[in-house]
Chain A
Amino acid sequence: MPPETILPARRHALPPGLIVLALAAVVLAASIAFMTVGVKGNWAYVLELRGRKLAAIVLVATATAVSTILFQTITGNRILTPSIIGFDALYALLQTVLVFFLGAGRVAAFDPRLLFLLEAASMLALALLLYRWLFLGERRSLHLLLLVGVVFGLIFRSITQLLQRIMDPNEFVVLQDRLFASFNGVNPVLIGMSATAIGLVGLAIWKRRFVMDVLLLGREPAIGLGVDYRRLVTLILVLVSVLVASSTALVGPINGFEPISFYGVLVANLTYLLLPTFSHRFLLPAAAMIGILLIAGGQLVLETLLGFDSAVGIVIEFAGGLVFVFLLLKGLAR
């Protein structure tokens, strides 16, 4: 039998389980540093304040990282994030409408729990409405869904901008503050509500960690292997929506309502780079931890040590943007 050319196998990467453990250790160390570095004065007060901030970071990072990886798995695309469906745009529209019609003062006086539920519920409603477009029976419907999402996002953004143009400038300043993710002074009750939602979704996802790998093969092979494709993809989209909705309602849109969250792209692709595996049981926890490290570590270095104020978001989006451009060019070069 004539031998075929065989290149030597290149597989000297660390086992993914070990990388996840190492990441966990780094996250733990970073969290301790985050809580304790540079504490002056009243320890109890500072720990409580920083604890809340860390909890919010952990929730938002986990929700964003996990939802991005899952979204990329079902779309088979490594530069998409759930925000393409227009979640963040809807959040911005909602805030703008509230401030525009009720006034900044009255919105600030709202019960934050009620506002949280309202925001989360309307984002979920949008997602479910969109998924009615999802006839996954035959092909291309996922792309149709994405396109419809992009159009929705455009409409939301246009209305938002119109309202902001004709708004009282003083109110606009208050509104702008609400439209950027902030981990400071997050209400502990909301942290509890969002943690419950994200935890339950996490359990539902963990239960399906193996079947999610099969989705990487695409629709037809997955069905051939016995996956109820339409049901699973719809379920994942709903879970992704709950994740995005509860994290956005907690701190605001992490990407400052641009159509693409570079933070999500950055976290997901760092994860793929670090873990040479397709297994969601490694990818998902690793992505969550990388997400936490980026925000918490970034805050620690930039704000606590170097003294820049709230520059992390900008730095992360910048780095994410570079990764995005790199991925695009790599895709073009192929």
Chain B
Amino acid sequence: MIEVEGLTKRYGATAVVDDVSLRLPEGRLTAVIGPNGAGKSTLLSMIARLMKPDTGRIRVAGLDVASTAGEVLARRLSILRQENHITARLTVGDLVAFGRFPHSGGRPGPEDARHVAEALAALDLAPFRDRFLDELSGGQRQRAFVAMTLAQDADCMLFDEPLASLDIRHAISMMELLRDLCRNKGKTVVLVLHDINIAANFADGVVAMKDGRIEAVGDTGEVMTGERLSRLYGLPISVERNGGSCIVNYFRSRD
């Protein structure tokens, strides 16, 4: 469960996140969507205490983010940001093992080894375990970072654009994996997504943001309507439901 109350972040006169209040119940996969500069990443960063809000309160799994010790919070909350540059030369296995740091304090036990192996397997990375990160493709590296976040095994997992540079097969299998974590392990997963088709088909709930404010929040079916999305992105968009899947079409209505 993530609760956000009256959250604001300003740079100079412009509010990047403007008085946002939210409740994200546990066991659900929530997608945060919206145009560039909507404040999605900033919101995620503040929830994960990477950035201090100017005003507002955040509670994750009942813990106040501003006052809880970092190491306690790290066992309940994990975040993966969009850009990850590491100057040290690490192997995929090293990186994923870092995800266990909040639990192992740097001295991994058998339980940690099991989590690392599971995370590597879940992201198709077992054969790459001993490869250095700088020898991987962008998509493989991205999966390694996701595996590290999974190994952290927190109740709430935040991902900023986790599908960046993934091919379709890996994007879909990662979304299935995350949905499975919500359904079967009761995790709360929050994703910033640019691919609104993926959001429409995998998310339980959607938070639509624009100009630092929340435009709409609710179940995916409610929020993802042609009218709402058209207004959100300033582009004619139609939503077609076709059996079990949902296609957000932003091409057809252009001609």
A278 in the interface, Cβ–Cβ < 8 Å? yes
- Using an 8 Å CB-CB cutoff, how does the interface string of A276-311 with B read, 1 for contact, 0 for none? 101000000000000000000000000000000000
Which of A6-14, A81-89, A168-176, A247-255 is near enough to bind chain B?
Answer: A6-14
Contact string against B for A residues 54-67, beta-carbon threshold 8 Å, 1 for contact and 0 otherwise: 00000000000000
Contact assessment for B50 and A220 in the assembled complex, using a CB-CB cutoff below 8 Å: yes
Q: Is A38 an interface residue (CB 8 A)?
A: no
- Stretch of B15-23, B102-110, B194-202, B231-239 at the chain-chain interface: B102-110
- Asked if A326 is at the interface of the complex by the 8 Å CB criterion, the answer is no
Q: Which residue of A4, A209, A213, A225 contacts B74 across the interface (Cβ within 8 Å)?
A: A225
Known contacts A7-B135, A226-B71, A226-B75; is A220 also within 8 Å of B98 by CB? Answer: no
Chain B residue at minimal CB-CB distance from A215: B88
Known: A77-B87, A210-B107, A225-B102. Contact between A9 and B130, CB under 8 A?
yes
Taking a contact as CB atoms under 8 Å apart, the answer to whether A224 and B74 are in contact is yes
Which chain B residues border A217 with CB–CB below 8 Å? Answer: 86, 88, 98
Task: State whether the Cβ of A76 lies closer than 8 Å to any Cβ in chain B.
Answer: yes
Identify which of A7, A209, A226 contacts B70 (C-beta below 8 A): A226
Segment at the interface with A among B76-84, B178-186, B214-222: B76-84
B131 interface residue per 8 A CB criterion: yes
Query: CB distance B50 to A224 under 8 Å?
Result: yes
Select A78's contact among B48, B87, B124, beta carbons within 8 Å. B87
Instruction: Kindly list chain B residues whose C-beta atoms are within 8 Å of the C-beta of A276.
Output: 89
Query: How would residues 37 to 52 of chain A score, 1 for a CB under 8 Å from any chain B CB and 0 otherwise?
Result: 0000000000000000
Nearest CB on A from B165, distance (A): 14
Q: Which residues of B contact A223 (CB under 8 A)?
A: 48-50, 70
Q: What 0/1 pattern do residues 216 to 253 of A give for CB contact below 8 A with B?
A: 11111101111110000000000000000000000000
Q: Which of B58-82 contact A (CB under 8 A)?
A: 69-75, 78-81
Which A residues lie at the B interface, using CB under 8 A?
A: 1, 4, 6-7, 9, 11, 76-78, 137-138, 209-211, 213-214, 216-221, 223-228, 276, 278
Q: List 5 A-B contacts (CB under 8 A).
A: A4-B127, A77-B87, A216-B88, A220-B79, A224-B78
